[in-house]
Chains A and B, each alone.
Chain A
Amino acid sequence: MADSFRRNGPPATEPPRDVGQSTGTSAWMQAHAEELARQTAELGRKTTEFEILQRVSSAITSTLDLEEIYDIALRTMDELFEFHHANILLVEPDGETLAVVASHGYENQAVGGRVRIGTGVIGIVAQRRKILHVSNMGQKRAYAAAQRQQMMKSGRGAELSDAVPVPGLASAESQIAIPLLIRGELIGVFSIESPVRRTFSEHDRGLVSIVANQIASAINNARLYEERARAANALQEANASLEARVADRTAALERELSVAQELLKDARSRVEGPLLGESPAVRALREAISRAAARVGPLLLVGPPGAGKEAVAHAVHDASRRRGAFIFVSCPELSTQVSHPGVDTSPAVRPERALLAEKLELAAGGTVFLDAVERLPLEFRYALHEILEAYETHSSDWTLVADVRVIASTTRDSRPDVETGRPGPLHRLLSTNQIDVPALADRRQDIAVLVDHFVRRQAMHLGKVIDDVSVESMRQLEAYAWPGNIRELRTVIERAILVSRGTVLEIDEELLDESPSVGSYRLVSRLGTGGMGEVWRARHRLLARPAAVKLIRHDVEHGPGHEDLVRRFQREARVTSGLRSPHTVQLYDFGVNDTGTFYYVMELLDGFDLQTIVTRFGPQPWERVIVFLRQACRSLAEAHAHELVHRDIKPANLFVTILGSEYDYLKVLDFGIVKDQPGHEATALSAGDVLQGTPAFMAPERMLGEGVIDGRSDIYSLACTAYWALTGQPVFQASSPAQMLIHHVQKRPAAPSTISELPISCDLESILMRCLEKDPAHRSPSALDLDRELASVRCEKPWTQQKARAWWEAHAPDVAVRNHR
């Protein structure tokens, strides 16, 4: 569109006078008619433009949808200027690039293309924020290319940079780009292109600027609207999230309140009752409580488990009219609270001391009750001792304890110090004031009152009507030994009421079984005694399942090294529970009983350990030994895969049994000294370290403390065990454990075939001798490898299930009958 009208000016308003009248008039009229036609066409064009502008203005301001705005803008530009190719680009958040958000007329959609500000027609327009029309672009590009080539030829190529592709028509001849501005700020660029050369008048530039301004305003409005909608959504989501969190928190608080109420109820139930009665013992107890309440120093309550020491502590607290809280602290569980987020564990403050101080602060103006203080972990004992000394010395801890009554309970009258054998300093501090809480057996005349109290309370709790206890049941209750004291009495009553059907309570004799128990298991008979504990045959109170219960022996539990033994015991339980091989003994349960004795419950195995088999029935055929070894390998393979080394593989820890229909089923026992592998071990003879294991079956590297202790140590011990099973003799004979250890380190073993009277497979012997090598690198690398090697041993008469069954029926018919019904 050219505005030639304005350039050429209007035609003359009168006909020329210097030419012939008719010719002049005719020419003037023709010129005037042409000019009129041109002006009419111009008017029509402007009318069309105006209509288009009006339409676009109306359309573009009637929507807030960006896609619709883009579409209107692109169609309008096409309609007005017939360029047929157009892009709308918006400034990216980085402020350095523009991205195509809408395009029109391109074969391949240009959307997503990017232009760096300052590059190409669009980039320059964005940079200068001015409209730009470039025509004859092909020639200009060719001219630039020629210049470029000339520079290359003249050796100035290094001054050049790479050409930058820009989205749009590669063959465009004309391009006009308009900045989209809002209050002077660039938001994007509108670009239209044509593959032919086009002129672009001032009028066109004005027109395109008007449309561009409208587009910019519409885009800006739509974006503001989107932002507002997003903000509203975000606010709504935040509100919803906040409401949900408030609801969750409310629910959590309600749950906490409910739990706290239950705990309070439970605590009340535990302290109600024990002080009832009129026996001399309980009257003396009440008097002692009155006396203790008048004092302020530490108080020690001594009595058997379940006798009501916590109730006595509460009674002292109440009688002393203390306004602060009664804080119950379970001493055995303190170490699990050290990592509690509220505890200051900075290096400057010992965590044990910080935790105790926290409990004392909670009990300000009240009482802190340290239950089972004899089971207070060693590190806490020192911290508690320091704090309690403040009572005597008024040291810096005085502010901590000045307003707190410390009451501790123990099941033992005195606790000898580990080093001196005399009562420890902590016990001395605590026992300045002491109250002995009597066992229920020592106040039998109170049993009837206590029974009545517990029956009424529990019946009300369960909504039952119990009028009385049968005469026979009351007689049994009064005659029973009550090893668990008042706690056991309460439990028995609760259980009896739970299953009662009438209004007269009958006590099942089963509830008054005096055989010792741990957890849910009654101990039936002692099966044996080991290095650190006893093993009992047990039965579950409710299930028919028999079980074996392992306990730390009392003499061990209270002796030197108690802490290490308990840790070792706990580790064995933890490790065994994590192993799933059917050839590893299965763990059922683990815990601490009322007297603080650690126990764990495992499957009860009926049969013999390999030690017993060889001792009682002599060396075993090599084919059978292979069957045993391969099963042991599978158990060890799993343990080794968990990076655990058994460290005590020996005949006594390989148990042979009948499992269902399978004879000679082997299980590996006693993971008590298992160790995470790989690891270094102190030498056997170094001071301060205890070498655990059995010398006759111990790998040399464990004594030397050289290199890494891994599964190959177990393989050595397993080879020693096989040697024993084949020959009935250990690998080395020695007069003392120390000599035995030295032999394992230095001496080469004799081949088992030179000792045994029974034939031994050459293949098996070769494998065993290799596994008995001093250097672990020369042994089978893993239990799985050893299993494979054993499987490949040539065997003409393998040990079959028929042979195994025959063996059991001949040598242990009672076991065979019990296990194969």
Chain B
Amino acid sequence: MQVALPVEIRPVLDNGIPAVMVTCSGNGVPNTTIISQVYYVDETHVALSFQFFSKTIRNVRENPRAYVLVTDVAGQVAWILQVEFQHSETEGPIFNAMDMQIEAIASATGMSGIFKLRGADIYRVLSVERLPYSKSPVS
């Protein structure tokens, strides 16, 4: 199962507030975290930045399915993406493009070497659901 990302979600990926990612360990323990970048790869794939979320990464390696909530405050819209981890990249054009984004901010804020992209995790989009806007969607 896989779906195409709608056109209107593209600006939300570019401009949305940091996204919320929900994962679940192999034995069913859920975990929620914030990720700085949801990168549009193509119509059916996104890349999520792997910086320092060791529990998230562990969960995804045990259970590849996850949910990502992206919110566009200006457009008053939120989307839930059901995704499935496929592989992780530590080089190549996708990794470089995401790394530049992070390093540009990190180097100017004194966070070089800390706020750093360790890998670009590629996910297949399984479903996309548009939600009514909520100020605190996670809660």
B108 engages A119 (CB within 8 Å): yes
Q: How far is the CB of A575 from chain B (nearest CB, A)?
A: 71
Q: Taking A4-B7, A151-B114, A199-B11 as contacts, is the C-beta distance between A124 and B36 under 8 angstroms? A: no
**In the complex, which residues of chain A have a beta carbon less than 8 angstroms from the beta carbon of B107?**
118-120, 123-124, 164
B138 touches A (CB below 8 Å): no
A148-B104 contact given A8-B7, A136-B14, A199-B14, CB 8 Å threshold: no
Q: How many residues of A contact B (CB 8 A)?
A: 38
Q: B105 at the A/B interface (Cβ < 8 Å)?
A: yes
In the complex, A197 has a CB within 8 A of chain B: yes
Q: Which residues of chain A are within 8 angstroms of B11 by Cβ–Cβ distance?
A: 197, 199
Which residue from chain A places its CB closest to the CB of B34 in the assembled complex?
A: A143
- Given the known interface contacts A136-B14, A139-B18, A144-B115, the answer about A164 and B108 at a Cβ–Cβ threshold of 8 Å is yes
Contacts of A141 in B (CB 8 A): 105, 109
Beta-carbon contact of B115 and A132 below 8 Å: no
Q: Mark A199-234, 1 if CB is under 8 A from B, else 0.
A: 110000000000000000000000000000000000
| Cβ contacts under 8 Å, B114 to chain A | 147, 151, 159-160
B111 near A130: Cβ-Cβ < 8 Å = no
Quote the shortest CB–CB distance from B23 to chain A (angstroms).
19
User: Are B108 and A166 within 8 A (Cβ)?
Assistant: yes
Contact A135 B14 (CB under 8 A): yes
Residue A689 interfacial (CB < 8 Å): no
Given contact pairs A135-B15, A160-B110, A130 touches B105 in the complex (Cβ within 8 A):
no
> A392 within 8 Å of B by Cβ?
no
Contact residues of A between 152 and 177, Cβ < 8 Å to B: 159-164, 166, 173
**A523 at interface by CB-CB < 8 Å:** no
In the complex, which residues of chain A have a beta carbon less than 8 angstroms from the beta carbon of B104?
Answer: 120-121, 123-125, 132, 134
Closest residue of A by beta carbon distance from B72: A197
Question: Is the C-beta of B86 less than 8 angstroms from some C-beta in chain A?
Answer: no
By size class, the interface of chain B is: 20 to 34
> B31 at the A/B interface (Cβ < 8 Å)?
no
Contact of A143 among B15, B36, B103 (CB under 8 A): B36
A145 on interface, CB distance cutoff 8 Å? yes
Contact between A163 and B109, CB atoms less than 8 A apart: yes
Chain B residues 96 to 139 lying within 8 A of chain A, measured CB to CB, are 96, 100-101, 103-115
**Bound-state Cα–Cα, A269 to B100, Å:** 92
Within 5-50 of B, Cβ neighbours of A (below 8 Å) are at: 7, 10-11, 14-18, 34, 36
In the complex where A4-B7, A130-B100 touch, is A136 in contact with B109 (Cβ < 8 A)? no
In the complex, what residues of A have CB within 8 A of residue B112's CB? 161
Known: A124-B100, A136-B14. A163 touches B105 (CB 8 A): no
The answer to whether A132 touches B101, judged by C-beta atoms less than 8 angstroms apart, is yes
Q: Are A145 and B109 in contact (CB under 8 A)?
A: yes
Residue numbers in A under 8 Å from B105 (CB-CB): 134, 137, 140-141, 144
In-complex Cβ contact of A197 among B34, B74, B101, B113 (8 A): B74
Given contacts A7-B7, A139-B17, A160-B114, contact A132 B100 (CB under 8 A): yes
**Is B17 in contact with A144, judged by CB distance below 8 angstroms?**
no
B47 to chain A, nearest CB (A): 16
Instruction: Flag if A161 contacts B16 (CB, 8 Å).
Output: no
Shortest CB-to-CB span from B4 to chain A, Å, is 10
- Closest approach, in angstroms, between the C-beta of A234 and any C-beta of chain B? 40
Q: Which of A118, A143, A166, A199 interacts with B18 by CB under 8 Å?
A: A143
- Which residues from chain B contact A163 at a C-beta distance below 8 Å? 108-110
Is A128 at the interface (CB under 8 A from chain B)? yes
- Docked CA distance A159–B106 (Å): 13
> How far is A464 from B113 in the complex, measured between Cα atoms in Å?
100
Chain B contacts of A148 at CB under 8 A? Answer: 109-111
Cβ of A125: which chain B residues have Cβ within 8 Å of it? 100, 104
B115 touches A162 (CB 8 A): no
User: Are B18 and A144 in touch, CB under 8 angstroms?
Assistant: no
Q: How far is the CB of B9 from chain A (nearest CB, A)?
A: 11
Q: Find out whether the CB atom of A161 lies under 8 angstroms from the CB atom of B110.
A: yes
A120–B14 alpha-carbon span in the complex (Å): 18
- Which B-chain residue is minimally distant from A177 (CB atoms)? B104
Q: Indicate if the CB atoms of A199 and B10 lie closer than 8 Å.
A: yes
- Are B100's CB and A144's CB within 8 A? no
Distance of A166 Cα from B34 Cα, bound (Å): 27
CB distance from B101 to the nearest CB of A (A): 6
Q: Which residues of B from 53 to 86 have beta carbons under 8 Å from A? A: 74
A199 B110 Cβ-Cβ under 8 A = no
Instruction: Give the chain B neighbours of A118 by CB distance below 8 A.
Output: 107
Distance (whole angstroms) from the CB of B78 to the closest CB of chain A: 15
Q: List 27 A-B contacts (CB under 8 A).
A: A2-B10, A124-B100, A124-B103, A125-B104, A128-B96, A130-B96, A132-B100, A132-B101, A134-B104, A134-B105, A136-B14, A137-B105, A139-B18, A143-B36, A144-B106, A145-B109, A147-B111, A147-B114, A148-B109, A148-B110, A159-B113, A160-B114, A164-B108, A197-B11, A197-B15, A197-B74, A199-B14
With contacts A159-B114, A173-B15 known, what are 5 further pairs, Cβ within 8 A?
A4-B7, A8-B7, A118-B107, A136-B16, A140-B105
